[in-house]
Structure 1
Amino acid sequence: MRADRLVSLVLLLRRRGRLSATTLARELEVSTRTVLRDIEALSAAGVPVYAERGRHGGFELLPGFRTELTGLNHDEALALLVAGSRRGAQVFGLGSALASAMLKVVDALPESYRDTAAGAVERLLIDPETDLLSRRLDAEDLPDTIVGEVRRAVFAGHKLRIHYEAVGQAPKWRTVDPIGLVTVREQGYLLAARSGADRTYRLSRILAAEELAEPAQRPDRVDLGRAWQERSVQFRTGGDPVTVVVRVNPNRREELVGTAVALLAEEADADGWLRLTVTFQDSRHAEWALWQLSTNAEALSPQGLRAGLRDRATAIASRYATP
């Protein structure tokens, strides 16, 4: 356990530079006293770690220090192999690189770990191509040349020129400041800024891409998880919001709430069903969400939504009325 912690300590210092004892203790989940003892042990072993005193002081490695720290334990190797089985790398055009890296990881493992780790991976299936209802996930077929150009601009921090085909619009060129890449359910997205405004682009709609030499206007650090959450909220709350009062079978409540933008009120009806007041992005979104629930939900208001669902049901019934 201590050997793993010492390796982690050195890796933290190599990656992030000067860190205080408090920060190291928090990252390693130990006390500051333990960190100080570990620093002494590293110094005694010849690792060039030194202390910088003062308000912004901390511990740091001598510039240029490098050492080989390739001793993976069994769980670390298993975690890498499991990560390598995910298909996100395919979306970002890194499939072949990932396969090559996994071969190197397996080859570098101690023989005692190699067989057991490989055997364990065979008993874990991550994101299969179909779910229990045999619904196939729609994986996007993205040209490596386009995705590679986008990826290089993201990592290099350069502006990116893309020929983009938005929904219902003719393709046109636009220059953006790339921020990061996100993959969700086999679909890839580019998070970027354009003229200072946040933009999200579907990778499959980028018809051509060109990395520019000009530096991108973007923050040095980014929290992609938070950025994606904020853009998801913006997307769901855009349009012309509509508030709906709906009765729903309790067994389908979570499905309804999960598709709505917000749940405003909830109460139980006498027959055991639930009466909810929810907000949807627009009337089209509301009609789609309630149609998925079939007879397990009933929209009470607005009347326009009830009429839309009735007309849709009537059209379906008419289509199947005759043999």
Structure 2
Amino acid sequence: MRADRLVSLVLLLRQRGRMTADTLARELEVSTRTVLRDIEALSAAGVPVYAERGRHGGFALLPGFQTALTGLNHDEALALLVAGSRRGAQLFGLGSALASAMLKVVDALPEGLRGTAAGAAQRLLIDPETDLLSRRVAADEVSDTIVAEVRRAVFAGHKLRIQYAAVDQTPKWRTVDPIGLVTVREQSYLLATRGGADRTYRLSRVLAAEALDEPAQRPDTVDLDRAWQERNAQFRTGGDQVAVLVRVDPARREHLVGTVLAVCAEESDADGWLRLNVIFQDSRHAEWALWQHATHAEVLAPQGLRTSLYNRAATIATRYGASS
């Protein structure tokens, strides 16, 4: 682990020139004291790194110093393969590996192309944390330790023991045969089988994980995209689904349809609004989705959903109607 950090330190100095210990510490996610120890270790190993004192001082390499330290390790190569989505690398616990790999890739470029590529990269921003309305991306929070253990079992083809907290249930330990990892809209999932049955686990609900030595019972190859589509279809056709008859302003139709599992029927009302028969995952999903439309949609059935929306609106009205 320290060897990788030393390589990253050398590459940072090669590509950016003089850098302070504090800046290096932030880039490498270590303490300033650790950076100073690493600088001493590099000097002892014959790397021509020197210190410049003063207000604009820092550490630098002698001009013209070359290094052959650009070989990628396993995690760095893997990080590049998922680098089409930098957030994907973060969600799979490969963020630091991606940063290290990109340093090595840039260092391997010809001198002229290196500067051009770095300048172009500054002109591109992919998947920022907020959109134009300042809404933050709600990415899953998953422990790097847990993700690393899950990854290890997936790649090694070994059984995995996890402590999983399903919704509204007490966390339980279970042993699964891991198939693969999927990230969708900032959320990560483990596809696995348990007792031969397909299972999908959200990584943010995994409280602990342990890769076992026992081989997993799974095919040697997998079409992960097809497997995800099959799980998605199973999810849409199972559970406590709710059929809802709703009237909606045509301007809001696409927004509404984007939140349902299926549209079973659709017709126009005399006033120009649309009347749709739609399917939601469950009553909680239906109430949440339809509340977003305020007065631009009206539930006609079932009555229980109408009552839930009425009670929610009455509670809000009471809260804001009370004197301060």
Whole-angstrom distance in 2 between the partners of 1:82 and 1:192? 20
1:232-258, Cα deviation, whole Å (9 max, x unpaired): 232233322222221111221111111
Task: Give runs of aligned pairs for residues 73-88 of structure 1, distance below 5 A.
Answer: 83=83, 86-88=86-88
Whole-angstrom distance in 2 between the partners of 1:264 and 1:138? 31
Whole-angstrom distance in 1 between the partners of 2:108 and 2:193? 41
Q: Which amino acid aligns with 1:196?
A: G
Residue in structure 2 matched with residue 109 of structure 1 by the alignment: 109
Residue in structure 2 matched with residue 192 of structure 1 by the alignment: 192
1:132 aligns with 2:132: yes
Offset at residue 160 of structure 1 (A): 0.7
Offset at residue 180 of structure 1 (A): 0.5
Offset at residue 82 of structure 1 (A): 10
For structure 2, list consecutive stretches of 5 or more residues without a partner in the other structure: 1-69, 71-79
Residue in structure 1 matched with residue 238 of structure 2 by the alignment: 238
Offset at residue 127 of structure 1 (A): 1.2
**Secondary structure of 1:87's match?**
helix
Residue in structure 2 matched with residue 202 of structure 1 by the alignment: 202
Residue in structure 2 matched with residue 59 of structure 1 by the alignment: none
For structure 1, list consecutive stretches of 5 or more residues without a partner in the other structure: 1-69, 71-79
Task: Give runs of aligned pairs for residues 160-175 of structure 1, distance below 5 A.
Answer: 160-175=160-175
> Structure 1 residues 309 and 84, CA, compared in 2 at 3 Å: closer, same or farther?
closer
Whole-angstrom distance in 2 between the partners of 1:301 and 1:143? 43
Task: Give runs of aligned pairs for residues 16-165 of structure 1, distance below 5 A.
Answer: 83=83, 86-165=86-165
Seq. identity, %: 78
> Structure 1 residues 134 and 274, CA, compared in 2 at 3 Å: closer, same or farther?
same
In 2, are the aligned partners of 1:92 and 1:188 still within 8 Å (CA)?
A: yes
> Structure 1 residues 146 and 283, CA, compared in 2 at 3 Å: closer, same or farther?
closer
Offset at residue 270 of structure 1 (A): 2.9
In 1, are the aligned partners of 2:160 and 2:209 still within 8 Å (CA)?
A: yes
Residue in structure 1 matched with residue 36 of structure 2 by the alignment: none
Residue in structure 2 matched with residue 275 of structure 1 by the alignment: 275
Whole-angstrom distance in 2 between the partners of 1:85 and 1:299? 39
**Secondary structure of 2:142's match?**
coil
Aligned length: 245
In 2, are the aligned partners of 1:261 and 1:278 still within 8 Å (CA)?
A: yes
RMSD: 2.1
Whole-angstrom distance in 2 between the partners of 1:220 and 1:138? 34
Residue in structure 2 matched with residue 320 of structure 1 by the alignment: 320
TM-score, length-normalised on structure 2? 0.70
Q: Which amino acid aligns with 1:101?
A: A
Offset at residue 171 of structure 1 (A): 2.0
Residue in structure 2 matched with residue 45 of structure 1 by the alignment: none
> Structure 1 residues 81 and 123, CA, compared in 2 at 3 Å: closer, same or farther?
farther
Residue in structure 1 matched with residue 216 of structure 2 by the alignment: 216
> Structure 1 residues 115 and 271, CA, compared in 2 at 3 Å: closer, same or farther?
farther
> Structure 1 residues 302 and 167, CA, compared in 2 at 3 Å: closer, same or farther?
closer
Whole-angstrom distance in 1 between the partners of 2:243 and 2:81? 47
